[in-house]
Structure formats: structure tokens, C-alpha cells
Amino acid sequence: MSAPAPDVHDKIVVSGFRHFFDTADGSVQATDTVDVRIRAGEFVTLVGPSGCGKTTLLKAIAGFIRPTEGTIHCDGNLVRAPGRERGVVFQELAILPWRTVRKNIGHGLEIAGVRRAERAQTVSRLIELTGLVGFEDRYPHELSGGMRQRVAVARTWAADPDVILMDEPFAAVDAMTRLTLQEELARLCAATNKTVFFITHSVDEAVFLGDRVLVMTRRPGRIKAVIEVPRRARGGRNWESFTADPQMQGIAEQVLRLVRAERGAGPANEEKPARAAGATT
Amino acid sequence: MSATAAPTGVRPRPGSELSALALAGLWRMVRWLKILVPFAVLVAVWWAIKASGDFPDNILVSPLQAWRTFVHLVSHGVMAEYASTSLTMIGISALISTSIGVPIGFAVGVNRYAAHSLEGFLRFLQGISGIAWLPLAIIWFGFSHTTTLVIVIYTLIVPIVFNTMIGVRAIPENYVLALRSLGAGRMRLVTDVYLPGALPSIVVGLRLGMGYGWRALIAAEMLVRKGGLGDLIFGARTFGQIDRIIVGMITIGCLYIVVDRLLVQPIENVTIARWGLLRK
């Protein structure tokens, strides 16, 4: 695989990863051999058709599943189980309905045994950063889908992990809110310098957010291309300048062609990884 | 986000506030009346039957007579004695079966294989009502409170175990995964995810169980004859005291409503309703 030079500091190293699922009809191959290196502070996006095994890869990095073959290292340590240094943001159904916004965001710190005063400080800062001021004592069912995802993101950031794994975190919110959330995430990442691994099936999202975009083939997935996205500046990204930038549009089209080549070739590939229509606003 | 606060621009005219308050009060009254209508109909029909036919008092008494008997039983402390026995029994049973049933339901719920293998068995037990255990229980424990307790606890515990198990299994996997990646251990998962997550279902189980348990309790008391409302109405049969039987039955129904409203509903209101998890 076209991995980066070995002399840079790799935060996450996936080598020779291959995964099979046991089902009632026997073993099903989820991914082909995958090798990925993610540098510290890098924002890597992974785009691919649904069912290509991208979530499987993320779950393995998170430590939720053990790979059938290959190894995953985080900071040189073999990943065997979930850990505080690897935070996860799910697509939906992740924040707890019986906790208020404040209690959800502070949950990781509470588990870590951080003192109440210190916890309150961190939580307040994140509530401000994620635009949740005024909703601190609401329960999740009183919030919109977009705000619930803000809480999920804030909860993960509050626990201060080195690595953040995001599994289509904005797929379930409406198109308009999604644009805002993507911009906010870019700003948050720039402000906190986290290593992020972000899964999506939206080409625009992948190019907009990623420092590097990995393109996966259909199942059993492997990395078929790696595209560097040159950034003039960390942060300060917004959709208006992104859509007006011919270089960015060129990259997006290149990625789109790569992803589209995977469509229809496989059996029953319903979902089309097309460019998000909302990006033209 | 849709704010639920009233629009601030509109100021109500003085006086309209008062009439609004009166209107709200009226609505509340109408709601209460709606609940009371079926009861009124029942009493009316009962009265009509008593008045139209030529029923002697050892077949059917009038509502007025039943009321007099009720007042008599209450003022002489008889009702309090029988009712408190029943309430104590159901209270003890609810406590014991919750503290045994919830942990069992948990243990079974978190283990997929145990859940599968126990589902059939629990349904089998559901089929054997508490009353069906009475012959055995009487042989083993005699005509005692122990027999009654065993029957009621058994009746309560099956729906509690069953619903706790279902509640635990219905918790989204992401809740658990998210917490594990925040560093949560097994105990944390139980207190922060499994317990609150299963609570709506546990309350449903408790509510069902209280309904079944209350009926089983009355039946057991009728046979065991060691106090309680079941004893009251079955004892009255021996002397053909129709008024006592009817008053006892009405009390049984009323107390069940009180138990349900005073015990189970408050739990629902402070937890599940606030979390937006109430299944309507």
C-alpha cells in the first residue's frame, strides 16, 4: 500500500488486517487485506460503498472486535480492547437518554474519576465550543438530531483521547445541519489537534474534512487509492470557499470517479456514494 | 430546537387570565367526571336490578346498604385490619420479588445463550398460575402467611424476571460500546447503562406483576384464611353476608388502583417520562 514514509510518527498502524464474520451460512469475508498508517494530528477520511467493511475496520481500531488476521497498533501498543485513548463517535444512538447534556458530556471524565470542579470546567468549555449553551440541562429527547450529535462529539472530546474514530457521525442529520456540523468539526479539530479517523460514504465530506482520503473497494474491501488533500491552512474551512476552489473540486471529482467505479460492479449495491447535493449552497 | 415557552409578545388582557384559570379547572373536573362515569353506571344498574326484582338481602343488597356496611366496617376498625394485612403482604412480596427478580433478569439478559434457553421455561412458568401452586404450598407450609407469600412472590417474580431480561436485551449496543471506549468497566456499565436502560421494562414488569400478584393474593387469602380481604369476603360467604362480600370486592378493586397510582406511577414519572422513554 502507498503508506507514508516510516520516519514520521505513526499514531495508528494497521497491518495485514483481514476480517471474516461468522454467520449462520458460514464465514463471510468483510475486508480484504488492509494496511493503514495514520500520523499523529492527521485527519484521515475513509470513503467507500456501503458494506465494504469500513465500519469493521473502525470497530477493530476501536478494539470492539478482534481482527481475524493482522494487527493494529496504537502508539506502538497492540490494540486488544477499547481504551480511553481511542474515543468513538457513532452515527446515532450513542448518548444516554437518561443523562442531561451536561452529564453526558462529562461522562468520560466521571468514569476517569476527575474531580467535580475540574469536570464542570471542561464540560462548560466544550458546551461553548459545540454551540450547546442554554441546553446544558436538557435531556437528549428534547434535542434535535443535529444537537444530539454535537453532544456525542463533545462527550468524546471532553474525555481527551489522542485518537478519535468517527463512524458516519453526520449521516443521520438533515443536509443543512450536516454542513454546519462539518464546519464545526473542522474548526474543533484545528483547535485541539487530534488524530481523527473518519468514515463516510459522502465524497464531498471526505475531501472537505480529510488531510488524506482513503478510497475503499466494495466488499471485501481494500484500500484502492490514497489521495492527499493539500491544505493552505488548518481550520477556517467553510463550504463556500471549498466549492469555489477549483483545486478542491478537482480532487473531489477524482475521488468521485474512484468511488463510482465501485458502484454497480458488485452484487446488489443499492446505495450510491454520490456527491452531496447540499454542498452547492 | 423548538422552544416550548409561551410567546412573550402577546400579553393577555387582565381578567382573561382568571377566566383561563377557571377554564382549566373546569377541564380537570370534566376529566375526573369521565373517569367516574362507568362507576356511576355500574351503581345505577346495580340499584335498578335491586329495585326492579324481588331480591332478598341474602342474594343482593342495595348500594345504600353496602355503603352503610362499609361505614360500619371502617368505623369499627374491621376494614383497616383486613386491608392492612393484604397491603402488607403485597408490599413485602413486591420488595422481595423485585430484589430477587431484577438480578436474575439481568444475569439472563446479558447472556444471549441463557436468555434463549430460559425464554421457553419462563413461558412455561407463566402458564402455571400462582393458584396452581396452592395445593403444594399448603402441604409444605400449612395454612400460614408463608404460603400466601410464596404464592404471591412466585406470581410477581415471573413477569419481573421476564421484563428485566427483555429490557436488558433491548438496550442499543452503541450505548455499551461508547461507554467502553470512554473507559467504563463492568460495574460502570451496569449502573450507568444496563440499570437505567432496563428500567422502563422493569417498571412494566412490576406493574404487570402487581396486577397478577394482587389477584393471586386475594385468591390465596380465601383459602389460607389468615386475614386479608380475601379472607373477609370468603368468611362473609359462610354467613351469607352479601353486603360484606360486595364491600370487600369494591375495596379490593379500589386498593389496587391506589397501589398502582401511588407506587408504580410515581416511579415512572420521575424516571422514564423525564427521559422520554415512556412507551405509550
- Please determine, for residue A266, whether its predicted confidence score (pLDDT) is greater than 60: no
The answer to whether the CB atoms of B175 and A94 lie below 8 A apart is yes
pLDDT given for residue A232 in this prediction: 60
Distance of alpha carbon B75 from alpha carbon B172, whole angstroms: 55
Chain A contact set for B203 (CB, 8 A): none
Distance of alpha carbon B222 from alpha carbon B171, whole angstroms: 42
Q: Are residues B138 and B255 in the same domain?
A: yes
Spatial contact of B229 and B252, defined as CB atoms under 8 Å apart: yes
Report ipTM for this prediction. Answer: 0.83
Per-residue pLDDT reduced to its tens digit, B173-200: 899 999 999 998 888 998 999 989 998 8
- B81 part of a folded domain: yes
- Please determine, for residue B16, whether its predicted confidence score (pLDDT) is greater than 90: no
What band does A268 get if pLDDT is binned at 50, 70 and 90? very low
- B211 part of a folded domain: yes
Q: Are residues B164 and B41 in the same domain?
A: no
Residue percentage of chain B with pLDDT more than 90: 57
pLDDT given for residue B241 in this prediction: 92
- Please determine, for residue A210, whether its predicted confidence score (pLDDT) is greater than 60: yes
Q: Are residues B21 and B82 in the same domain?
A: no
- Please determine, for residue A214, whether its predicted confidence score (pLDDT) is greater than 70: yes
- The radius of gyration of chain A's CA atoms, rounded to the nearest angstrom, is 19
- What strand order describes the sheet that includes A86-89? A86-89, A163-167, A195-200, A43-47, A212-216, A223-228
B147: number of Cβ within 10 Å? 22
- Contact of B235 with chain A, judged by CB distance below 8 Å, is answered with no
Number of domains making up chain B: 2
Helix (H) or strand (E) holding A101: helix A101-105
- Contact of B186 with chain A, judged by CB distance below 8 Å, is answered with no
Q: What is the mean pLDDT of residues A237-264?
A: 83
- B199 part of a folded domain: yes
Which domain does B209 fall in, by range? 65-275
What band does B9 get if pLDDT is binned at 50, 70 and 90? very low
Q: Which three cell numbers stand for residue B83?
A: 386491608
Chain B contact set for A155 (CB, 8 A): 178, 182
- Please determine, for residue A250, whether its predicted confidence score (pLDDT) is greater than 50: yes
- Chain A nearest-CA residue for B197: A98
A220: preceding bond cis by omega (within 30 degrees): yes
Chain B contact set for A93 (CB, 8 A): 172, 174-175
- Chain A nearest-CA residue for B177: A64
Spatial contact of A200 and A206, defined as CB atoms under 8 Å apart: yes
Closest-CA distance, B106 to chain A, in angstroms, reads 19
Q: Are residues B113 and B241 in the same domain?
A: yes
Q: Are residues B193 and B252 in the same domain?
A: yes
- B60 part of a folded domain: no
- B59 part of a folded domain: no
Q: Are residues B15 and B90 in the same domain?
A: no
- B280 part of a folded domain: no
Q: Are residues B101 and B217 in the same domain?
A: yes
Q: Are residues B157 and B269 in the same domain?
A: yes
Q: What is the mean pLDDT of residues B70-92?
A: 94
Q: Are residues B113 and B176 in the same domain?
A: yes
Spatial contact of A203 and A259, defined as CB atoms under 8 Å apart: yes
CATH of the domain at B131: 1.10.3720.10
Helix (H) or strand (E) holding A77: strand A77-78
Which residues face A23 on adjacent strands?
A26
Most confident option among A38-52, A197-211, B24-38, B89-103: B89-103
pLDDT given for residue A271 in this prediction: 46
Q: Are residues B143 and B205 in the same domain?
A: yes
3-class secondary-structure state, position A221: strand
- Contact of B273 with chain A, judged by CB distance below 8 Å, is answered with no
The answer to whether the CB atoms of A107 and B277 lie below 8 A apart is no
pLDDT given for residue A236 in this prediction: 55
Residues 6+ apart with CB under 8 A from B19: none
Chain B contact set for A141 (CB, 8 A): 275-277
Residue A159 φ/ψ, nearest 5 degrees: -75, -10
Chain B contact set for A86 (CB, 8 A): 181
- Please determine, for residue B2, whether its predicted confidence score (pLDDT) is greater than 50: no
pLDDT given for residue B109 in this prediction: 87
Mean pLDDT taken over chain B: 87
Angle between the B145-169 and B195-224 helix axes, to the nearest 10 degrees?
160
- B72 part of a folded domain: yes
Distance of alpha carbon B45 from alpha carbon A203, whole angstroms: 73
What band does A260 get if pLDDT is binned at 50, 70 and 90? confident
Query: Which of B35, B54, B73 lies at the terminal end of a domain, its last residue?
Result: B54
Q: Are residues B112 and B174 in the same domain?
A: yes
The answer to whether the CB atoms of A87 and B180 lie below 8 A apart is no
Per-residue pLDDT reduced to its tens digit, A97-151: 999 999 999 999 999 999 999 999 999 998 988 888 999 999 999 998 888 988 9
Q: Are residues B13 and B141 in the same domain?
A: no
What band does B14 get if pLDDT is binned at 50, 70 and 90? low
- The residue with greater pLDDT, A6 or B73, is B73
Which residues face A74 on adjacent strands?
A12, A77
| Residue that has been written with the C-alpha cell 397501589 in this structure | B259
- B246 part of a folded domain: yes
Chain Cα centroid distance, residue B138: 26
